[in-house]
Amino acid sequence: MIFLLTAVVALFAGCKGGDEYPEYQYQTRLVRQPFLNSQITVYEGMEVEIQGIGFVVGDKIIFRTADGGEYTAEIIAVDDSSAIFLAPDMPQGDYTLYITRDGKIQKVSNIAVWITTSMIVPEKEGYPIRGIVHVGDKGLAGVWVSDGVNFTQTDEQGYYWLQSDKRLGTVFVCLPSGYLPATGSNAVPGFWKSVSIDPYLSEQCNFELKEVNTTNHQVFFATDLHLADRSVNPNGVNDLKEFDKGFVKDSKELAAAYGENTFLITLGDITWDAHWYKTGFMPASWVAKMKQYPLMTFNCMGNHDNNPYVQGDNNGSKVYRSTVAPTYYSFNLGDVHYIVLDNIEWINTNGTNGFVGERNYNERVDDVQMAWLKEDLSHITDKSTPIVICAHCQFHTNRNSSFKVQRHMQNTKEVLACLDGFTNVHLMTGHAHYNMTMEVNDNIIEHNVGATCETWWVSTSASILDGRGICRDGAPAGYAVFEFKGKDLKWYYKSIGFDKSLQFRAYDMNNVARERWTSYLATQEPARDTNGDDYGNLDDNVIYINVWDYDSKWKIEVYEDGNNTPLELTRVFDRDPLHTATTDVVLGKVGELIEGHASVRSSHIWQVVTEEDDTDLTIKVTNRFGEEFTQTLTGRGKRNKFDITTYFH
């Protein structure tokens, strides 16, 4: 019979309690770089690996509660970079973790402990990872389990045995439709576990699930958060505060409006590697910050989530893998199959302990992951199943003067070949900090989503924006929203701090072209091909319309002075004037405009030209789902300066 270890147990004999630990007056570094996941799922007697250099057999691991209770385990085996202890008999809850030796003590971290079934799954030679997938006291059959290389399925009892060399240090259950993790937290759902680096050590890893009908569900896709707990020049904007009052507030309100079955998927760069060791905000900090966030979160790894002190892809992602999630995995919500990939191959030339390397990388899906992806997709027999593939780096780009969809990632072609036969595929990516919705073919659409941190948090430095920043393509900071009802999907881009109805912005370029900002831009990096005069060659009476989620099934109509015949539209490849005004010019004035922050030419701007400069215009934009969004431009010709405040009412 499966049961949870919830019995109250006595405190370890001889342990100190209450306030007898002066807050580390005699703190000693016994072990270098000690680390245990911020959340662990264990049963009494389970072998648990803790990372660190310098462990000694006989060291004590203490789990201490806020009220002074303690539960102690002893290190029974060590190697160069880790140690093993047996989980003590302790209740589920929050603990502070310590290492003790010879009367000395070292604090490690705060962790949450989840208790799982203690049912022993018999060992099998050649299968170092085993366990049970269960719901309550019943095993669940037919569930796929993987270590990122190999797959296995649970038997009729819910048992599984997995061949593994443990090279990635994780094992995960591919959540079946109708089930969610019953353990873990929203920040780190319990669909995965860390395993020992010892391929010969036999380990039991159990997964408890719960039944949830997710046939109808919503997913928020947020990318490029770049959280570092730092102030951003020139006005000292703190990224964590902006994140809280922006994305967190906005997404909570939208999730509350939707009700149940709303999830968050991040698309990479939740942290900022260059600042890991400056501010201390690392992957574990992300987990702690999101612990109270109301939505179950599935994370995808970005280039800035790698350790800048180490070289090589496996080493670079180790902290992330042991803290946040595996670097790639799959799960099902309702009728939809989600796949999270890692298409950043970390190189980090010259990176070494204590020194940040060049932080360079390849943009590709590595060979091991490609083999895993092919097998994962082979488990899906119904080719009409919606497939949502999430990765950080974009597979394609259409940011060119011909607006042609072109392959971007090194092995995009090989990844797409794995999707042959599937009729409904959506690629969700980030990395660029601007929006591109690209119809790759009849069956595949890529949504390259604008950044939640807009332009690395610097556009919010313009006080007029009231904390509502702008991405480099002129789109507001935001996130994508998918609404699934069975296999039917609708989507939109949600601008942070604005109603859903904000799907485009229109600009009277007479005002923009006459205030050219040249003196602030011409001498700044990057050197513009316009010498800073971005809009100087425009004709009179041009209107720009920036539709950031545009695809070929959208319709844009502009009517002048109530006429029923729409004006002729032309797609243009140009920079958004609002981003230029609020970011390029603001930073240019203080000499801090750099290439990564500057406006980029966008593939989703349209223009119309009117006969006169004082006519009223009605702009109607209709998305592919028949939803209409309108704006009226009145009072044209009466302003002589680009009025930023117009766009933030």
pLDDT greater than 60 at residue 8: no
Is the model more confident about 14 or about 525? 525
Specify which residues 437 forms β-bridges with: 447
Q: Which residue has the tokens 């680096």?
A: 197
CATH number for the domain including 55? 2.60.40.10
pLDDT greater than 70 at residue 204: yes
Tell whether 347 is covered by a domain: yes
**15-24, 35-44, 188-197, 585-594: segment of lowest average pLDDT:** 15-24
| Mean of pLDDT values over 80-94 | 92
pLDDT at 463: 55
Tell whether 24 is covered by a domain: no
Provide the number of structural domains found in the chain.
4
The domain boundary residue, chosen from 442, 464, 495: 495
Nearest CA to 176 out of 194, 198, 154 is that of 154
| Mean of pLDDT values over 393-414 | 96
pLDDT at 571: 97
pLDDT range class, residue 233, cuts 50, 70, 90? low
Is the model more confident about 342 or about 535? 342
Same domain for 308 and 389, yes or no, is: yes
pLDDT at 7: 28
| Mean of pLDDT values over 165-187 | 95
pLDDT greater than 80 at residue 576: yes
Give the sign of the dihedral formed by CA 229, CA 326, CA 329, CA 439.
Answer: positive
> What SS3 state is found at 249?
helix
**Region at 14 (left for phi over 0; alpha for psi -120 to 50; beta for the rest):** left
> Which are the contacts of 480, defined by CB distance < 8 A and separation ≥ 6?
220, 221, 428, 447, 449, 491, 492, 493, 494
Tell whether 9 is covered by a domain: no
Tell whether 623 is covered by a domain: yes
pLDDT range class, residue 489, cuts 50, 70, 90? very high
pLDDT greater than 90 at residue 172: yes
Same domain for 350 and 279, yes or no, is: yes
- The DSSP code sequence of 137-183 is TEE-TT-EEE-SS-EEE--TTSEEEE----TTSEEEE-BPTTEEESS
Q: Please name the helix (run of DSSP H) or strand (run of DSSP E) that holds residue 254, with its range, or none.
A: helix 249-258
CATH number for the domain including 392? 3.60.21.10
| Mean of pLDDT values over 365-383 | 97
pLDDT range class, residue 406, cuts 50, 70, 90? very high
pLDDT in tens, 417-434: 999 999 999 999 999 999
Residue 13: exposed, middle, or buried by beta-carbon count in 10 A (0-12, 13-18, 19+)? exposed
pLDDT at 448: 98
pLDDT range class, residue 22, cuts 50, 70, 90? very low
> Which are the contacts of 169, defined by CB distance < 8 A and separation ≥ 6?
194, 195, 197, 318, 321, 322
Residue 447: exposed, middle, or buried by beta-carbon count in 10 A (0-12, 13-18, 19+)? buried
Average pLDDT, the chain: 90
Same domain for 94 and 63, yes or no, is: yes
**What do you get for the CA distance between the two ends of the chain, in Å?**
61
Same domain for 251 and 152, yes or no, is: no
- The DSSP code sequence of 499-566 is -TT---EEEEHHHHHTS--HHHHTTSSS--TTTT-TTTTPPTTEEEEE-TT--TT-EEEEEETT-SSP
| Mean of pLDDT values over 212-221 | 98
pLDDT greater than 80 at residue 235: no
Tell whether 19 is covered by a domain: no
Same domain for 398 and 260, yes or no, is: yes
Tell whether 463 is covered by a domain: yes
pLDDT range class, residue 310, cuts 50, 70, 90? very high
Which strands sit side by side in the sheet containing 478-485, from one edge to the other? Answer: 296-298, 262-266, 216-222, 478-485, 488-495
Backbone angles phi, psi at 582, to 5 degrees: -90, -20
pLDDT at 640: 63
Same domain for 202 and 69, yes or no, is: no
**Confidence (pTM):** 0.88
**96-100, 186-190, 237-241, 327-331: segment of lowest average pLDDT:** 237-241
Half-sphere exposure of 542 (CA within 13 A, CB side): 19
Same domain for 42 and 56, yes or no, is: yes
pLDDT range class, residue 461, cuts 50, 70, 90? low
Percent of the chain with pLDDT over 70: 93
The domain boundary residue, chosen from 210, 228, 262: 210
The domain boundary residue, chosen from 495, 516, 546: 495
**138-152, 183-197, 362-376, 631-645: segment of lowest average pLDDT:** 631-645
Nearest CA to 431 out of 372, 359, 307, 343 is that of 343
pLDDT at 13: 29
Is the model more confident about 200 or about 460? 200
Same domain for 201 and 323, yes or no, is: no
Same domain for 181 and 262, yes or no, is: no
pLDDT at 120: 83
pLDDT at 15: 35
Tell whether 23 is covered by a domain: no
**What six digits make up the tokens of 198?**
């010892």
Tell whether 435 is covered by a domain: yes
CA distance 293 to 297: 9
Residue 80: exposed, middle, or buried by beta-carbon count in 10 A (0-12, 13-18, 19+)? exposed
| Mean of pLDDT values over 533-561 | 94
Same domain for 422 and 468, yes or no, is: yes
Same domain for 277 and 243, yes or no, is: yes
Same domain for 372 and 430, yes or no, is: yes
The rounded radius of gyration (Å) of the Cα atoms in the chain is 27
- The DSSP code sequence of 359-372 is --EEES--HHHHHH
Contact between 316 and 274 (Cβ < 8 Å): no
Contact between 570 and 444 (Cβ < 8 Å): no
pLDDT in tens, 34-68: 988 877 888 888 889 898 999 999 999 999 999 98
Contact between 406 and 439 (Cβ < 8 Å): no
Backbone angles phi, psi at 339, to 5 degrees: -130, 125
CATH number for the domain including 157? 2.60.40.1120
User: Domain span at residue 234?
Assistant: 213-495
pLDDT greater than 70 at residue 14: no
